[in-house]
Amino acid sequence: MTGRIGLTVSRILIIAAILLAIAGGSAAASEPPQPSVKPGEMTVQVLQAAVRGEPSALSAPLSMLAYGDIVYVTGSVDGWALLRLSGREKPAYMYLSSLTPKRIGGSGPMQTAVPGVSAPELALAGKGFDSRIEKNYGAKTHLDFRYVDLMEEFRFDPERCAAFLNGGE
Amino acid sequence: MMRRRSMTGTPAPVPARALALLIALACILFFSSCLSVKESVAIFSEEAVNNGLITRGQAVMLAAAAVAAAGIAESPDPEQEYYIGRSVAATVLAKYPAYDNLELNRYLNLLGQGLALHSSRPEIFAGYRFLALDSMEVNAFATPGGHILVTRGLLRFARSEDELAAVLAHEIAHVTLRHGIDSVKGSRLAELATEVALAAGMSSGGEIAKFTAAFGDAISEIATTLIVSGYSQSYEFQADRTATFILKSSGYDPGALARVLSRMESAIKVGDAGFGATHPTPQAREEALASAAAEGKAAAAPKTAVSGKIAVSGKVAVPPNGDTVESIAPLALVKAERFRAAGAYF
């Protein structure tokens, strides 16, 4: 009985907390929310993002950033974020939509050495859906990810895609 | 009556304690608009621990999970969208077999990934990917992770690369506008996130099974929307309008979408499997597009057929005196030839 009450209380607690968060912060617009472009740190929210010398997908990448990397954004122009890179006088650019003002990819409010809670459990709780969940779900439902993996191998860089649109290939 | 000893050693009836906690929660929520989710949960968890309702370990798990769940409910991060998308794609592929044709799929990816560069989200977590489905049903699916699956039945409606681009641009728009996630957003996603949080917070050991159950609910809901019920009409109209902008920006004819819809109009009946069941009628979509164009909310079709004239990077030579497709043949011819070669596989 105690466990059931505990569960009920916790359920109410979390629902309330989530509703509070939603009420306080979200605007369920159809367009994706544009990140703030006030000067400051932003986080890369795509697996791989190119930093370019010009605000164009055809400009050669100066470097590549990974999901969760943090950059300092000084402003934006036509959907491109302006970055300041050390050792480079001119600004660098990356897609503004590839950045978010939120911190992502981190471990959240982690705390270790808690009796009865392992670090992986805590990491899972703080993260949500990931590859471990997919693996377990796939095994349970007998879903075949072979063609999903295959389609993900069709990766073409922007220069090649732009050349295609211009009549290449 | 069952009693539980609190941390202070004072036993009390559990229902009374639970009631006290609920009142405390109500007070916290009423007075604490300035508190974060993390702070609210921390305060309440502390009370729950002190009253012996949950353990210290569970409280820590709850705090982590509640923050994550609130994040999922408000806006799932791109990595979560990606993993949800992968499973939704696998679910679609369980119903519609992949069309294992390297040349066609390579062509669809070059074209589709090129179009996506002209969308409002040129890069997403793991990129946009396209796959043909070996089905003559007229249908297409776009997952939150950027996996876009199109049946041969739908591909056959395209008579040119511009029209094929229109079909792909519509699906890209569903991804950029986050329609997949939005279809389970709001209270339902909050509910799913709550289940995730509870799974993590209320049990120690073996939680992955419970996480998986919640994950499965999300997959199932999105897959049902995509396969059975379809997006709302307003989402379809939004995707059509966005597609015309992508087409125009990438050098394709924004009027191509209306032409495909017009062709579908006579071929698809309401209630047919696929598009007939999951989309507004082609006629309604054409009317909405025309209305949006009149209001300036969609890219209007050019006055002349200039699909080959709009140079994406300025490499296409525009003849001094002509603006017909025939007179600016190079790009138009290349597109026609590519489409003819790929179309042989539809």
Q: Kindly report the number of other CB atoms within 10 A of residue B194's CB atom.
A: 28
Smallest CA-to-CA distance from A68 within A16, A127, A113 is with A127
Q: Which positions in chain B touch A164 (Cβ < 8 Å)? A: 110-111, 114
Q: List all residues 6 or more positions away from B69 whose beta carbon is below 8 Å from its beta carbon.
A: A14, A18, A128, B190, B193, B194, B196, B197
Q: What is the ipTM of this complex?
A: 0.73
- Which tokens belong to A125? 């709780």
Full pLDDT tens readout for chain B, 346 residues: 334 443 334 444 555 555 555 555 555 554 444 455 556 666 766 777 787 777 777 676 666 666 666 666 566 788 888 998 999 999 999 999 999 999 999 999 999 999 999 999 999 999 999 999 999 999 999 999 999 999 999 999 999 999 999 999 999 999 999 998 887 655 455 566 556 555 555 544 445 666 677 677 778 878 888 887 788 888 999 999 999 999 999 999 999 999 999 998 888 776 676 776 778 888 888 888 888 877 776 665 544 333 333 334 433 333 344 444 444 558 999 999 999 999 999 9
Q: Which positions in chain B touch A127 (Cβ < 8 Å)? A: 68
- Looking at residue B313, its pLDDT comes to 41
List the single residue in B25, B75, B87 with the smallest CB-CB distance to A13: B25
CA distance B225 to chain A (A): 17
Separation between Cα atoms, residue B130 and residue A109, nearest integer Å: 37
Smallest CA-to-CA distance from A114 within A127, A125, A128, A103 is with A125
CA distance B146 to chain A (A): 10
CA distance B30 to chain A (A): 10
CA distance A113 to chain B (A): 9
Distances (CA, A) of B185 to B97, B111, B190: 29, 30, 7
Smallest CA-to-CA distance from A10 within B30, B25, B3 is with B25
Separation between Cα atoms, residue B23 and residue A54, nearest integer Å: 57
- Whether B85 and B145 have beta carbons less than 8 Å apart is answered as yes
Q: Kindly report the number of other CB atoms within 10 A of residue A109's CB atom.
A: 18
Residue type, B106: R
- Whether A162 and B311 have beta carbons less than 8 Å apart is answered as no
Query: From the candidates B14, B37, B220, which should be mutated to test the interface with A, based on the most A CB atoms within 10 A?
Result: B37
Smallest CA-to-CA distance from B130 within A127, A63, A16, A148 is with A148
Q: DSSP character for A107?
A: -
Q: Which positions in chain A touch B234 (Cβ < 8 Å)? A: 30
CA distance A23 to chain B (A): 9
Collect the ranges in chain A with pLDDT lower than 70. 1-36, 105-128
Q: Which positions in chain A touch B109 (Cβ < 8 Å)? A: 154-156
> What is the phi-psi region of residue A116: left when phi exceeds 0, alpha when psi lies from -120 to 50, beta otherwise?
left
Separation between Cα atoms, residue B102 and residue B99, nearest integer Å: 9
List the single residue in B123, B190, B311 with the smallest CB-CB distance to A19: B190
For the stretch B124-159, pLDDT in tens is: 999 999 999 999 999 999 999 999 999 999 999 999
CA distance A25 to chain B (A): 8
Q: Which positions in chain A touch B330 (Cβ < 8 Å)? A: 167
**Half-sphere exposure (Cβ direction) of A150: Cα atoms closer than 13 Å:** 16
Query: Would you call B150 helix, strand, or coil by DSSP?
Result: strand
Q: Do A32 and B177 touch (CB under 8 A)?
A: yes
Residue type, B147: H
- Give me the sign of the Cα torsion angle B71, B77, B81, B83: negative
- Whether A78 and A71 have beta carbons less than 8 Å apart is answered as no
Q: Do A121 and B204 touch (CB under 8 A)?
A: yes
Separation between Cα atoms, residue A56 and residue B100, nearest integer Å: 34
Q: Which positions in chain A touch B198 (Cβ < 8 Å)? A: 7, 10-11, 14
The Cα angle at residue B26 between residues B20 and B29, in degrees rounded to 5 = 140
- Whether B280 and B236 have beta carbons less than 8 Å apart is answered as yes
- Looking at residue B222, its pLDDT comes to 81
Query: From the candidates B44, B79, B198, B331, which should be mutated to test the interface with A, based on the most A CB atoms within 10 A?
Result: B79
The Cα angle at residue B325 between residues B322 and B330, in degrees rounded to 5 = 95
DSSP string, B201-248: HS--S-THHHHHHHHHHHHHHHHHIIIII---HHHHHHHHHHHHHHHH
Distances (CA, A) of B139 to A90, B142, B167: 47, 11, 10
Q: DSSP character for B281?
A: -
Q: Kindly report the number of other CB atoms within 10 A of residue A58's CB atom.
A: 14
Residue A81 phi, psi dihedral angles, 5° rounding: -85, 140
Q: Do B114 and A161 touch (CB under 8 A)?
A: yes
- Which tokens belong to B203? 């049990």
- Looking at residue B9, its pLDDT comes to 42
- Whether A44 and A13 have beta carbons less than 8 Å apart is answered as no
Which of 94-113 (B) contact A at CB < 8 A? 94, 98, 100, 105-106, 109-111, 113
Which of 13-72 (B) contact A at CB < 8 A? 14-15, 18, 21-22, 25, 29, 33, 37-38, 40-41, 44-45, 48, 52-58, 60-72
- Looking at residue B335, its pLDDT comes to 95
Note whether B188 contacts A: Cβ–Cβ < 8 A. no
Q: Do B312 and A166 touch (CB under 8 A)?
A: yes
Smallest CA-to-CA distance from A115 within B257, B76, B205, B331 is with B205
* CA-based nearest residue in chain B for residue A144: B90
Separation between Cα atoms, residue B106 and residue B129, nearest integer Å: 10
Q: Which positions in chain A touch B58 (Cβ < 8 Å)? A: 10, 116-117
- Which tokens belong to B36? 């974060």
Q: Which positions in chain B touch A118 (Cβ < 8 Å)? A: 204
Q: Which positions in chain A touch B120 (Cβ < 8 Å)? A: 31-32, 79, 97
Separation between Cα atoms, residue B211 and residue A127, nearest integer Å: 11
Separation between Cα atoms, residue B148 and residue B158, nearest integer Å: 17
Separation between Cα atoms, residue B296 and residue A105, nearest integer Å: 40
- Looking at residue B24, its pLDDT comes to 53
Q: Do A167 and B61 touch (CB under 8 A)?
A: no
Separation between Cα atoms, residue A18 and residue B248, nearest integer Å: 40
- Looking at residue B290, its pLDDT comes to 84
Separation between Cα atoms, residue A40 and residue B2, nearest integer Å: 55
Note whether B331 contacts A: Cβ–Cβ < 8 A. yes
List the single residue in B68, B123, B209 with the smallest CB-CB distance to A49: B123
- Which tokens belong to B207? 């939680």
Note whether B310 contacts A: Cβ–Cβ < 8 A. no
Q: How far apart are the first and last CA of chain A?
A: 68
- Whether A65 and A46 have beta carbons less than 8 Å apart is answered as no
- Looking at residue B143, its pLDDT comes to 94
> For the CA atoms of chain B, what is the radius of gyration?
26
